[in-house]
Structure 1
Amino acid sequence: MPSSNSDTESLPLINRGRNAVRRVTSVWSGFRDFALRDNVLEVAIGLIVASAFTSVVNSLVADIILPPISLMWDQSLGENFVILKQGHNSTAHYNTFKQAQDDGAITWNYGNFLEKLIQFVVLGATLYSLAKFYSLFATESIIKYQTKCPACKKDISAKAKRCPFCTSWQDGREFNGN
């Protein structure tokens, strides 16, 4: 028969194990409640879809739209640049801005900027078109139209009856003397 002394020594060890299990379970359930909430999953899925959508639009711009535009120059639109300061070999002619950078020249890469600007405009127009298309089938539009409050001049929802900033009525009853 074991002594009562060994039972009391093992009891705190058992309690520590139970407390550790309780803490791990609490941390796991807290993480699960955070990570599996609806809005966190929606954001994660939205980011994944947005990343894929962006790569498709970038491919559309780089592979379909920019090549015909590049026909105006002898090279790709992104390769157009101006030398602001010659590099170490001041008599060199640079065919690409990579060659100019390797020689230490300072360049103004306007072609790369134009390429990124076209990608931005096409991506923005495509997203706006998708939002308009979505609003045809949804009960609530993604695009929120805004107007300026006549009293405080802050941007507010076009559907607002009162301004959330200054609480003035948007139907003009305060300005009509009613």
Structure 2
Amino acid sequence: MLKEFREFALKGNVVDMAVGIIIGGAFGALVNSLVNDLLMPPLGLLLKGVDFSNLFVVLKEGTPPGPYIALADAKTAGAVTLNYGLFVNALIGFLIMAFAVFLLVRSINRLRSLSEKSAAPAVAPQTKECPFCFSIIPLKAVRCPNCTSQL
């Protein structure tokens, strides 16, 4: 059983999938950092200092009661909150990730179609044009069937 598992685990597809999952996780962390550390702060400044991670609606007051300046304060007080700012961050991260995957898949499809076009053998012509009547005739013809000219 251990031998069968080793054969399964070392197949090319399983190893490729494992590498893809690891790289995907690292890419996800990179996109999250891009959104949270590079995109959202300038966007917050453009929107007059809004910090998206601290946008929330208090559904139920905690102890002590609000107002709460930051989401962390509301969580510490035990308030029930609707965290729409975190959702906006996650949505932007998803859109960036989806766009990056779209670009990757589009590039792979283009490369695949280019390789299929170049891999297709050039087909030799099967017909030719009669120099007298300009009709299409078989390549091996010695007389045109339309004008009966000797070729």
Q: Provide TM-score, normalisation by structure 1.
A: 0.57
Residue of structure 2 in register with 1:89 after alignment: 64
Residue of structure 1 in register with 2:109 after alignment: 135
SS in 2 for 1:83: strand
Aligned residues: 113
Amino acid at match of 2:34: L
Cα offset for 1:128?
0.4
Distance 1:70 1:108, change over 3 A: same
Residue of structure 2 in register with 1:111 after alignment: 85
Amino acid at match of 1:32: R
> Residues of 2 paired with 1:108 and 1:122: CA distance?
24
> Residues of 2 paired with 1:84 and 1:135: CA distance?
48
Are positions 1:56 and 2:30 aligned together? yes
- For residues 59-111 of structure 1, give each alpha carbon's deviation from its aligned partner in whole angstroms, at most 9, with x where no partner exists: 22122211111112534211111122222223x43111121122122211110
Cα offset for 1:43?
0.9
SS in 2 for 1:94: coil
- For residues 12-45 of structure 1, give each alpha carbon's deviation from its aligned partner in whole angstroms, at most 9, with x where no partner exists: xxxxxxxxxxxxxxx3321221111121111111
Q: Which runs of 5+ in 2 are unaligned?
A: 115-151
> Residues of 1 paired with 2:84 and 2:48: CA distance?
13
Query: RMSD between aligned alpha carbons?
Result: 1.8
Residue of structure 2 in register with 1:67 after alignment: 41
Q: Provide TM-score, normalisation by structure 2.
A: 0.67
Residue range with higher mean Cα deviation, 41-50 or 53-62: 53-62
Distance 1:89 1:63, change over 3 A: closer
Report runs of 4+ in structure 1 exceeding 6 Å deviation: none
Distance 1:87 1:28, change over 3 A: closer
Q: Which runs of 5+ in 1 are unaligned?
A: 1-26, 141-178
Residue of structure 2 in register with 1:42 after alignment: 16
SS in 1 for 2:27: helix
More relative contact order, 1 or 2 (CA 8 Å, 6+ apart)? 2
Distance 1:75 1:97, change over 3 A: same
> Residues of 2 paired with 1:30 and 1:106: CA distance?
51
Percent identical: 35
Amino acid at match of 2:52: L
